[in-house]
Protein backbone atom coordinates (compact mmCIF):
# COMPACT_ATOMS: atom_id res chain seq x y z
CA UNK A 1 0.00 0.00 0.00
CA UNK A 2 2.79 2.44 0.85
CA UNK A 3 4.66 1.53 -2.35
CA UNK A 4 1.50 2.14 -4.39
CA UNK A 5 0.97 5.53 -2.75
CA UNK A 6 4.55 6.56 -3.46
CA UNK A 7 4.22 5.43 -7.08
CA UNK A 8 0.96 7.27 -7.46
CA UNK A 9 2.44 10.41 -5.92
CA UNK A 10 5.55 10.05 -8.10
CA UNK A 11 3.41 9.64 -11.21
CA UNK A 12 1.35 12.69 -10.36
CA UNK A 13 4.48 14.71 -9.64
CA UNK A 14 6.01 13.60 -12.95
CA UNK A 15 2.82 14.50 -14.81
CA UNK A 16 2.82 17.93 -13.18
CA UNK A 17 6.47 18.49 -14.14
CA UNK A 18 5.87 17.72 -17.81
CA UNK A 19 2.57 19.60 -17.92
CA UNK A 20 0.38 16.56 -18.58
CA UNK A 21 -2.91 16.06 -16.81
CA UNK A 22 -2.89 12.78 -14.91
CA UNK A 23 -6.12 10.78 -15.18
CA UNK A 24 -8.19 10.65 -12.02
CA UNK A 25 -8.63 6.90 -12.41
CA UNK A 26 -6.65 4.63 -14.70
CA UNK A 27 -8.82 3.04 -17.38
CA UNK A 28 -8.42 -0.51 -18.67
CA UNK A 29 -8.44 -1.05 -22.42
CA UNK A 30 -8.50 1.30 -25.38
CA UNK A 31 -10.76 4.35 -25.58
CA UNK A 32 -13.70 4.06 -27.99
CA UNK A 33 -16.13 6.76 -29.07
CA UNK A 34 -19.59 5.17 -29.14
CA UNK A 35 -22.09 7.04 -31.32
CA UNK A 36 -25.74 6.13 -31.00
CA UNK A 37 -27.54 6.95 -34.25
CA UNK A 38 -31.12 6.29 -35.28
CA UNK A 39 -29.92 3.44 -37.55
CA UNK A 40 -27.70 1.83 -34.90
CA UNK A 41 -24.53 2.13 -32.85
CA UNK A 42 -21.14 3.08 -34.28
CA UNK A 43 -18.05 1.99 -32.35
CA UNK A 44 -14.97 4.08 -33.16
CA UNK A 45 -11.62 3.01 -31.75
CA UNK A 46 -9.65 6.14 -30.91
CA UNK A 47 -5.96 6.16 -31.84
CA UNK A 48 -4.00 8.30 -29.35
CA UNK A 49 -0.72 6.83 -30.59
CA UNK A 50 -1.35 8.59 -33.92
CA UNK A 51 -3.00 11.81 -32.76
CA UNK A 52 -3.01 12.30 -28.97
CA UNK A 53 -4.22 15.92 -29.00
CA UNK A 54 -7.10 15.15 -31.35
CA UNK A 55 -8.16 12.13 -29.29
CA UNK A 56 -7.99 14.21 -26.11
CA UNK A 57 -10.30 16.84 -27.67
CA UNK A 58 -12.83 14.28 -28.91
CA UNK A 59 -12.88 12.61 -25.49
CA UNK A 60 -13.29 15.93 -23.68
CA UNK A 61 -16.24 17.00 -25.84
CA UNK A 62 -17.89 13.56 -25.69
CA UNK A 63 -17.55 13.46 -21.90
CA UNK A 64 -19.19 16.93 -21.72
CA UNK A 65 -22.12 15.67 -23.82
CA UNK A 66 -21.26 18.23 -26.50
CA UNK A 67 -21.85 15.78 -29.40
CA UNK A 68 -25.32 14.71 -28.23
CA UNK A 69 -27.96 15.80 -30.80
CA UNK A 70 -25.37 17.13 -33.27
CA UNK A 71 -26.35 16.59 -36.91
CA UNK A 72 -24.41 15.06 -39.80
CA UNK A 73 -24.57 18.28 -41.80
CA UNK A 74 -22.52 17.16 -44.82
CA UNK A 75 -22.82 13.63 -46.20
CA UNK A 76 -21.43 12.79 -49.64
CA UNK A 77 -22.31 9.36 -51.01
CA UNK A 78 -19.18 7.31 -51.68
CA UNK A 79 -16.93 9.81 -49.87
CA UNK A 80 -17.67 10.78 -46.27
CA UNK A 81 -20.11 11.85 -43.53
CA UNK A 82 -19.23 14.97 -41.52
CA UNK A 83 -20.53 15.98 -38.08
CA UNK A 84 -19.35 17.55 -34.85
CA UNK A 85 -20.33 21.21 -35.16
CA UNK A 86 -21.26 21.65 -31.51
CA UNK A 87 -21.95 25.38 -32.04
CA UNK A 88 -24.40 25.52 -34.96
CA UNK A 89 -25.19 21.85 -35.59
CA UNK A 90 -26.73 20.86 -32.26
CA UNK A 91 -30.48 20.26 -32.60
CA UNK A 92 -32.51 21.78 -29.81
CA UNK A 93 -29.73 24.22 -28.93
CA UNK A 94 -30.19 27.98 -29.02
CA UNK A 95 -27.40 28.33 -31.60
CA UNK A 96 -28.76 25.61 -33.96
CA UNK A 97 -28.68 26.86 -37.52
CA UNK A 98 -28.69 24.27 -40.28
CA UNK A 99 -27.55 26.83 -42.86
CA UNK A 100 -24.46 27.60 -40.71
CA UNK A 101 -23.81 24.02 -39.58
CA UNK A 102 -20.24 23.17 -40.46
CA UNK A 103 -18.97 26.69 -39.73
CA UNK A 104 -18.71 26.37 -35.97
CA UNK A 105 -16.80 24.59 -33.26
CA UNK A 106 -16.46 24.52 -29.49
CA UNK A 107 -15.28 27.19 -27.05
CA UNK A 108 -11.94 25.37 -26.77
CA UNK A 109 -8.87 26.52 -28.74
CA UNK A 110 -8.06 24.91 -32.09
CA UNK A 111 -5.78 21.86 -32.18
CA UNK A 112 -2.62 21.70 -34.29
CA UNK A 113 -2.46 19.11 -37.06
CA UNK A 114 -1.07 15.69 -36.18
CA UNK A 115 -0.66 14.28 -39.68
CA UNK A 116 0.33 10.63 -39.68
CA UNK A 117 0.88 7.72 -42.05
CA UNK A 118 -2.57 6.14 -41.55
CA UNK A 119 -4.45 6.09 -44.86
CA UNK A 120 -8.04 7.24 -45.31
CA UNK A 121 -9.88 4.03 -46.17
CA UNK A 122 -13.48 2.95 -45.47
CA UNK A 123 -14.38 3.61 -41.84
CA UNK A 124 -11.42 5.86 -41.02
CA UNK A 125 -12.22 8.89 -38.87
CA UNK A 126 -10.50 12.18 -39.58
CA UNK A 127 -10.42 15.71 -38.22
CA UNK A 128 -12.34 18.29 -40.23
CA UNK A 129 -10.69 21.68 -40.56
CA UNK A 130 -10.67 24.91 -42.56
CA UNK A 131 -7.93 25.84 -45.06
CA UNK A 132 -5.60 26.25 -42.08
CA UNK A 133 -4.13 22.81 -41.27
CA UNK A 134 -4.04 23.75 -37.57
CA UNK A 135 -7.74 24.60 -37.27
CA UNK A 136 -9.33 21.36 -36.00
CA UNK A 137 -11.74 22.14 -33.19
CA UNK A 138 -14.67 19.73 -32.87
CA UNK A 139 -15.81 18.53 -36.30
CA UNK A 140 -14.88 15.16 -37.74
CA UNK A 141 -15.74 12.91 -40.65
CA UNK A 142 -16.03 9.19 -41.38
CA UNK A 143 -14.97 7.97 -44.83
CA UNK A 144 -17.20 5.67 -46.88
CA UNK A 145 -14.51 4.42 -49.25
CA UNK A 146 -10.89 4.89 -50.27
CA UNK A 147 -10.11 8.58 -49.78
CA UNK A 148 -6.34 8.25 -49.79
CA UNK A 149 -6.08 11.57 -51.63
CA UNK A 150 -6.61 13.09 -48.14
CA UNK A 151 -3.55 11.31 -46.71
CA UNK A 152 -1.06 13.69 -45.12
CA UNK A 153 -3.52 16.60 -45.37
CA UNK A 154 -6.01 15.68 -42.65
CA UNK A 155 -5.38 14.04 -39.27
CA UNK A 156 -6.56 10.46 -38.77
CA UNK A 157 -7.51 9.85 -35.12
CA UNK A 158 -9.85 6.86 -35.19
CA UNK A 159 -11.40 3.98 -37.09
CA UNK A 160 -14.85 2.39 -37.08
CA UNK A 161 -14.62 -1.13 -35.68
CA UNK A 162 -18.36 -1.88 -35.85
CA UNK A 163 -21.57 -0.22 -36.96
CA UNK A 164 -20.47 1.11 -40.34
CA UNK A 165 -23.89 0.10 -41.68
CA UNK A 166 -25.41 2.87 -39.49
CA UNK A 167 -23.06 5.38 -41.14
CA UNK A 168 -24.03 4.00 -44.56
CA UNK A 169 -27.70 4.63 -43.69
CA UNK A 170 -27.24 8.37 -43.04
CA UNK A 171 -29.26 10.77 -45.21
CA UNK A 172 -27.04 11.96 -48.07
CA UNK A 173 -26.85 15.48 -49.45
CA UNK A 174 -26.92 16.28 -53.17
CA UNK A 175 -23.63 16.63 -55.07
CA UNK A 176 -24.85 20.02 -56.33
CA UNK A 177 -24.90 21.23 -52.70
CA UNK A 178 -21.51 19.67 -51.82
CA UNK A 179 -23.30 17.12 -49.65
CA UNK A 180 -25.22 19.63 -47.48
CA UNK A 181 -28.13 17.66 -45.98
CA UNK A 182 -31.54 19.33 -45.83
CA UNK A 183 -33.03 16.83 -43.35
CA UNK A 184 -29.95 15.51 -41.51
CA UNK A 185 -29.61 12.56 -39.19
CA UNK A 186 -28.04 13.25 -35.82
CA UNK A 187 -25.89 11.73 -33.12
CA UNK A 188 -28.39 10.80 -30.42
CA UNK A 189 -25.58 10.33 -27.92
CA UNK A 190 -21.79 10.08 -27.90
CA UNK A 191 -19.96 8.45 -25.00
CA UNK A 192 -16.47 7.15 -24.28
CA UNK A 193 -16.07 3.49 -23.37
CA UNK A 194 -12.92 1.48 -22.68
CA UNK A 195 -12.55 -1.95 -24.31
pLDDT for 71-98, tens place per residue?
A: 999 999 999 999 999 999 998 888 888 8
Q: What is the pLDDT of residue 19?
A: 41
Q: Domains in the chain and their CATH numbers?
A: 29-194 (2.40.100.10)
Between CA 95 and CA 82 the distance in angstroms is: 19
pLDDT in tens, 35-83: 999 999 999 999 999 999 999 999 999 999 999 999 999 999 999 999 9
Q: What is the pTM of this model?
A: 0.85
Angle made by CA atoms 118, 120, 121, in degrees to the nearest 5: 110
Q: What are phi and psi of 29, to 5 degrees?
A: 90, -175
Q: Could you read off the pLDDT of 135-183 as tens digits, one per residue?
A: 999 999 999 999 999 999 999 999 999 999 999 999 999 999 999 999 9
Amino acid sequence: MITFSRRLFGGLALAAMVGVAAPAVAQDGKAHLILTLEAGTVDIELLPGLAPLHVERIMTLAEQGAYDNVVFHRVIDGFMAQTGDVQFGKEGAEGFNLQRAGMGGSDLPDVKAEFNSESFQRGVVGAARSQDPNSFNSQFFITYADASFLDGQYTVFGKVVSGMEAVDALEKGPQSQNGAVANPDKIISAVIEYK
